[in-house]
């Protein structure tokens, strides 16, 4: 049982400029940056947004619809700032800026034999033409989007990355098939934390598998950048602060893409029957957190929603639906006996005060999320979990040897050995071990 859903994908093509002045793209990006910062400046001066749009669009040295796209991008940044304040007040002072365009207006694409030609309106009545370069898979997908009535080509951005001109094109499949949530047979419970994400696959008959994907560098790098920015602010070096903020955003963005890819790869590799990915609904989390200045800064700035969006997006392209549940007590509830108590959890170690079941705390929370989703469904059995499989860990890191290629099983430790035969799971944060 499936349902149709519109899904959008971004395709990246290097540009082979063959006619027109390539410097036009550079000049157009400078003008885009000026338009963006002008919108922000007028907003901070108290102008009405409708008036800002009219004035800035009229004075922009860009194709009209391109100017509108840049103005919209500035308004999106302001909305994000006012709603969440994740990265501080928006501004843009650097040279590199994407030239954002509508298909058929700011840019156009033409299929010719075994290649695709492009025409970009960098400035009014000034075009840059040439051919796209890229992989055959991307060309096939782009050709399908151009020719198929169920697909369409959307907004694109021309930008310079590592000295190379590129065109990032969005294509949308309006009738993509995604599995129905209610027909799912395997529930993938997800628990997202500041340094790892735990996944537990459940059916009505029991738990199929589980894994904890560690990404400690996100937390470490964010703390490092925070320390550098704070010292620079104290020294009055605000320009460097903006540079480091951009580097931090790019680092976190790339890491979250890697983590979300690992999640979907794990689900695909194990070939679960009709899976659904279930998250905790953290919509109002920011309003509920009040743990003091330091913890508030750490937790309020964590990109939980962005990681969830990346996973949902990548999974949907493989036909896997997503859903959410109320997050209340999922990290405190014992997945075996159901006893709920705050004292059950200590950092990464979970030990039930009622039945003495021990587990990796985040994996246990993932199991509880899956159980809670099953309880929400009509006529669905919630399995009794007397035993849970060994916790496997998959760590993402940027060391010289590269990332770990696959999940690893934590070995027994002296403290982790239990007389009942339960193996220990290493807890790096506390030095203790919890049974798996």
Q: pLDDT (tens digit, 9 = 90+) per residue, 413-429?
A: 333 333 333 333 333 33
Residue 435 pLDDT exceeds 50: no
Q: What is the pLDDT of residues 272-308, one digit of tens each?
A: 999 999 999 977 655 555 555 555 555 555 678 889 9
Q: Report the pLDDT value the prediction gives residue 240, as an integer from 0 to 100.
A: 59
Helices 216-234 and 238-270 cross at an angle (nearest 10°) of: 170
Rounded alpha-carbon distances, angstroms, from residue 33 to 26, 61, 76, 145, 264: 11, 12, 15, 30, 36
Q: Report the pLDDT value the prediction gives residue 399, as an integer from 0 to 100.
A: 43
Q: What is the pLDDT of residues 30-54, one digit of tens each?
A: 999 999 999 999 999 999 999 999 9
- Report the 10 Å Cβ neighbour count for 44: 11
Least confident of 28-42, 141-155, 378-392: 378-392
For the chain, give the percent of residues with pLDDT over 90. 58
Distance from C-alpha of 180 to C-alpha of 233, rounded to nearest angstrom: 50
Strands 275-280 and 322-325: parallel
Q: Report the pLDDT value the prediction gives residue 384, as an integer from 0 to 100.
A: 84
Mind listing the domains of the chain with CATH numbers?
2-177 (no CATH), 180-395 (3.30.420.10)
Residue 401 pLDDT exceeds 80: no
Least confident of 71-75, 172-176, 234-238: 234-238
Query: Averaged over 257-268, what is the pLDDT?
Result: 94
Model-level pTM?
0.72
* Average pLDDT over the chain, rounded to an integer: 83
Residue 338 pLDDT exceeds 60: yes
Tokens of 129: 């033409």
Residue 11 pLDDT exceeds 60: yes
Query: Averaged over 79-83, what is the pLDDT?
Result: 81
Q: Report the pLDDT value the prediction gives residue 229, as an integer from 0 to 100.
A: 76
Query: Averaged over 146-173, what is the pLDDT?
Result: 93
Query: Averaged over 239-251, what is the pLDDT?
Result: 70
Q: Report the pLDDT value the prediction gives residue 129, as an integer from 0 to 100.
A: 95
Please give, one letter per residue, the 3-state secondary structure of the chain. CEEEEEEEEEEEEEEEEEECCCHHHHHHHHHHHHHHHHHHHHHHCCCCHHHHHHHHHHHCCCCHHHHHHHHHHHHHHHHHHHHCCCCCCCCCCCCCCCEEECECCCEEEEEECCEEEEEEEEECCEEEEEEECCCHHHHHHHHHHHHCCCEEEEEEEEEEECCEEEEEEEEEEEEEEEECHHHCCEEEEEEECCCEEEEEEEECCEEEEEEEEECHHHHHHHHHHHHHHHHHHHCCCHHHHHHHHHHHHHHHHHHHHHHHHHHHHHHHHHCCCCEEEEEECCCCHHHHCCCCHHHHHHHHCCCHHHHHHHHHHHHHCCCCCEEEECCCCCCCECCCCCCECHHHEECCEEECCCCCCEEEHHHHHHHHHHHHHHHHCCCCCCCCCCCCCCCEEEECCCCCCCCCCCCEECCCCCCCCCCCCCCEEECCCCCCEEEC
């Amino acid at each position: 049982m499936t349902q149709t859903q519109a899904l959008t994908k971004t395709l990246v093509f290097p540009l082979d400029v063959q006619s027109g002045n390539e410097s036009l793209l550079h000049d157009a990006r400078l003008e885009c940056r000026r338009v963006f910062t002008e919108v922000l400046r007028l907003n901070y001066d108290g102008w009405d947004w409708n008036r800002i749009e009219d004035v800035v669009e009229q004075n922009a040295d860009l194709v009209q619809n391109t100017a509108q796209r840049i103005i919209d991008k500035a308004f999106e940044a302001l909305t994000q700032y006012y709603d969440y304040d994740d990265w501080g007040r928006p501004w843009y002072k650097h040279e590199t800026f994407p030239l954002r365009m509508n298909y058929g207006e700011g840019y156009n694409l033409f299929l010719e034999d075994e290649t695709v030609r492009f025409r970009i309106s960098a400035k009014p009545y000034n075009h840059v033409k040439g051919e796209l370069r890229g992989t055959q898979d991307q060309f096939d997908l782009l050709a399908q989007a151009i020719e198929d009535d169920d697909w369409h080509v959307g907004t694109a951005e021309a930008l310079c990355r590592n000295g190379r001109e590129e065109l990032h094109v969005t294509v949308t499949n309006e009738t993509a098939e995604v599995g129905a949530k209610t027909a799912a047979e395997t529930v993938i419970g997800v628990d997202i934390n500041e340094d790892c994400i735990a996944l537990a696959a459940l059916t009505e008959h029991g738990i199929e598998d589980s894994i904890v994907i560690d990404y400690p560098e996100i937390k470490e790098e964010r703390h490092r950048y925070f320390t550098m920015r704070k010292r620079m602010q104290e020294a009055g070096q605000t320009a460097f602060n903006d540079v480091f903020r951009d580097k931090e955003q790019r680092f976190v963005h790339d890491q979250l893409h890697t983590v979300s890819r690992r999640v979907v790869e794990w689900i695909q590799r194990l070939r679960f029957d009709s899976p659904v990915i279930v998250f905790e609904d953290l919509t109002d989390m920011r309003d509920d957190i009040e743990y003091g200045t330091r913890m508030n800064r750490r937790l309020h700035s964590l990109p939980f929603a962005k990681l969830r969006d990346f996973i949902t997006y990548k999974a949907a392209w493989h036909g896997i639906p997503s859903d959410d549940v109320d997050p209340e007590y999922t990290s405190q509830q014992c997945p075996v006996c159901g006893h709920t108590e705050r004292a059950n959890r200590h950092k990464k170690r979970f030990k039930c005060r009622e039945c003495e079941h021990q587990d990796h705390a985040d994996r246990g929370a993932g199991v509880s999320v899956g159980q809670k989703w099953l309880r929400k469904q009509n006529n669905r059995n919630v399995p009794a979990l007397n035993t849970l499989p060994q916790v496997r860990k998959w760590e993402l890191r940027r060391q010289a040897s590269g990332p770990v290629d696959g999940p690893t099983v934590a070995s027994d430790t002296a403290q982790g050995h239990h007389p009942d035969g339960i193996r220990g799971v290493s807890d790096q944060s506390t030095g203790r071990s919890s049974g798996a």
